Amino acid sequence: MYEVAGGHSPQKLVGEFFEKLNAGECDMVLLAGGEAMANIKVASKNKVQLDWREEVAGQLDDRGVFDGSHLITRMEFELNLMQPVQFYGLMEQARRGEKGLGADGYNQQMANCFSKLSRVAADNPYAMNTKSYEAEELITVTDNNKMVCSPYPKNLIAKDGVNQGAALLLTTVGKAKELGIAEEKWTYLHGYANTKDRVILKREKIGRSRALEFALKGGLEAAGKTSADIDHFDIYSCFPIVVAEACDVMGIEENDPRSLTQTGGLAYFGGPGNNYTMHGIASLVETLRKDPGSFGMASGNGGWMSKHSVGVYSTAAPEGGWASCDSSMLQMVLDKIPEVEVEHSPHGEAVLEAYIINYVKGNPFNSVIIGRLKGSNRRFYATSPFLDSDTLQQTLKGDCLGQTIFVEADPKGNRYAYSEPRLLEFSPKKVEEFQDSYEFCKVARNGHILTVTINRPETRNALHPPANQELENVFNAFEKDKDLWVAILTGEGDASFSAGNDLKYMALGGEVWVPKTGFAGITSRTDRTKPIIAAVNGVALGGGLEIAMAADIIVAVEHAHFGLPEVKVGLFAGAGGVQRLTRQIGRKKAVEMIITGEPITPQEALDAGLINYVVPADQLMKKAEAIALKITEASPMAVSSSLQLLNESSRFASEDDAVTFSHTVFDNLLNSDDFFEGSMAFAQKRKPRWIGK
């Protein structure tokens, strides 16, 4: 069996299989785990391909990497908040604020705690780092101890460059006797607890995990013990906050003589990705054998204090025998704690709750903060603008917790500053004028018609952030230009209209963001008032179909194909594909396309009502232009009003509600020159002379 990822997993498995042993489902269990990150790093540096494939005979229960718990949200992904050190840094700073401590005082507490751990590692032959550190060495920044992410220098965080493994053998008393295992080697699990927390922004306090509290108290209660009864600890120690919070929960003072680690902790013994707790339990068992009858606790932590497992052990058998443990009630109580509401697009005045400084080679690069809006009390993430050194420096001073800040939503990452003028200084300027030339598209105008061609044929016209931004600017200018009444959007070449998101660009580490108006500047443009014709010159898959569906009319060549294949690569059509396809064609066919990822032909698309026309390749632009000319023969104000009413009424599920809701669309048309020109031309039996206002 392969267990899911998480530092809590070894202890969780111990509890799970003790239940199975007690139920008679098995009589022996071997738990084993290891990490070879040191070898992987060396191999990568030397460009050596490692082949560690193996064929596992017999039954295999692969539980996958994730257990369904949310660790990363879209907001964090967009801000490149992906590393444990960043999340723990935010929680650490929030805890400092909650404790009312200055940066120097809090750093000293972290160092004092981890200095003690390093002394244990110094005496452990299995530790990756056997140096005993004084507290000042851990927090003094040097060339060998550079800042990684505030408040952490390198020597205060878990190390993953290890080759380490551990194993535990679980069995019953009867089987142990049968095998002749000496009784002085027996160690019993007396009780355990497992809990999960919600994502960071939704927790009561950023610097506190209630799930950790419930797991520690639940494990002790299951064993019938208090923290005072525990003689030996191995508390998960990837970052100082986990140890400090555990001590707070259990009332362990800084001068308590009991060691908090049996190995030396993840920063000095070593921090395997998911298996450290198995080392902790194995080491705890060795300690308990040397101190018969004493009690020990091992704790495991996964994610960002997100998943917790705690076990209480002793060489003394449990009084009354094994008692089954059930953490479901603990989790039920946890889940009922009110969660903080989150704001994805914050704007206005707020309070800074937590922050980190990201460093590159020891130099401050940018800051990321968690704030709370004063008006709604909702939480959000924000970052300092790339060129705003003043905001970065003010945050770097470390006395910003609790300060008033100003925040503004931005597709590249919500931005904050300590004054509103400073924030507005770095607000992106909306581009509403056409440029002389473009890098990723071609733009041509002919009378009242604008033709836009996505010009990235080398990527099948896939779009990356710079291309999306460029197209947003183009359609901004199109909307503003009163002489342009209709646009045609197509792709360069005859192979692909657009392949949607440029996944290769993203995989190579390119920035990941989408402008407010969406793919190609139109999939999220909710205030659009001018018609767009999609001239689909080839394949329109994924984001390509989403772009086409955002248009008002679709003309396609005979060799085109349409589909949303995202599910085949572990994604979903998140740029409007799911919502639009189910509204533009029959629901059953739409759902089939969405959940199978299978494409349809132009004829199938035509029959389903997804597109308007299918034409030979050499007739594509002629047909699109003919439709555009037809549109320009109508009043641009009337066309605009029609689209405006369609957009405003589309939010209603009921046709009656859509027809009868109160709106002001006709008011705008009634006060336009086109309204009177139409009436006059009809009365005078002449062709109208539309001016679009």
pLDDT tens-digit profile of 474-505? Answer: 999 999 999 999 999 999 999 999 998 888 88
Would strands 486-491 and 532-536 be described as parallel, antiparallel, or unpaired?
parallel
Residue 60 CA to residue 58 CA, distance in Å, equals: 7
pLDDT band at 693 (very low <50, low <70, confident <90, very high): confident
pLDDT band at 22 (very low <50, low <70, confident <90, very high): very high
Average pLDDT over residues 83-111: 95
Catalytic residue, candidates 566, 592, 598, 604: 566
User: Are 69 and 199 a contacting pair, CB within 8 Å?
Assistant: no
Largest CA distance in the chain: 111
DSSP string, 281-323: HHHHHHHHHHSTT-EEEEEEEETTTTEEEEEEEESSPPTTS--
Residue 592 CA to residue 587 CA, distance in Å, equals: 9
Report which of 429, 510, 529, 524 is spatially closest to residue 462, judged by C-alpha positions.
Answer: 510
- pLDDT value of position 608: 94
546 catalytically annotated:
yes
Strands (E), 181-255: 188-196, 232-234
Half-sphere exposure of 4 (CA within 13 A, CB side): 12
- pLDDT value of position 667: 63
Residue 543 CA to residue 573 CA, distance in Å, equals: 7
- pLDDT value of position 494: 93
pLDDT band at 557 (very low <50, low <70, confident <90, very high): very high
Q: Cβ-count burial of 564 within 10 angstroms (0-12 exposed, 13-18 middle, 19+ buried)?
A: buried
Before 421, cis peptide (omega within 30)? no
Q: Is the pLDDT of residue 649 over 80?
A: no
User: Are 547 and 489 a contacting pair, CB within 8 Å?
Assistant: yes
Average pLDDT over residues 414-436: 92
Tokens of 254: 């800084």
Give residue-wise pLDDT tens across range 141-177.
999 999 999 999 999 998 888 889 999 999 999 999 9
Q: Which amino acid is at 504?
A: K
- pLDDT value of position 69: 66
Average pLDDT over residues 407-423: 92
pLDDT band at 560 (very low <50, low <70, confident <90, very high): very high
566 catalytically annotated:
yes
- pLDDT value of position 504: 86
Residue 461 CA to residue 68 CA, distance in Å, equals: 35
Q: List, in order, residues 6 or more apart from 9 with CB less than 8 Å away.
A: 3, 274, 275, 277, 300, 302, 309
Phi and psi angles of residue 398, each rounded to the nearest 5 degrees, phi first: 90, 0
- In this prediction the pTM is 0.85
Q: Is the pLDDT of residue 68 over 70?
A: no
Q: Cβ-count burial of 301 within 10 angstroms (0-12 exposed, 13-18 middle, 19+ buried)?
A: buried
Catalytic residue, candidates 35, 472, 546, 625: 546
Within a 10 A sphere around the Cβ of 72, how many other Cβ atoms?
13
Give residue-wise pLDDT tens across range 530-546.
999 999 999 999 999 99
Residue 60 CA to residue 3 CA, distance in Å, equals: 11
Average of per-residue pLDDT values in the chain: 91
Half-sphere exposure of 141 (CA within 13 A, CB side): 14
Average pLDDT over residues 179-198: 96
The 3-state secondary structure of 319-331, one letter per residue: CCCCCCCCCHHHH
Tokens of 108: 């000293």
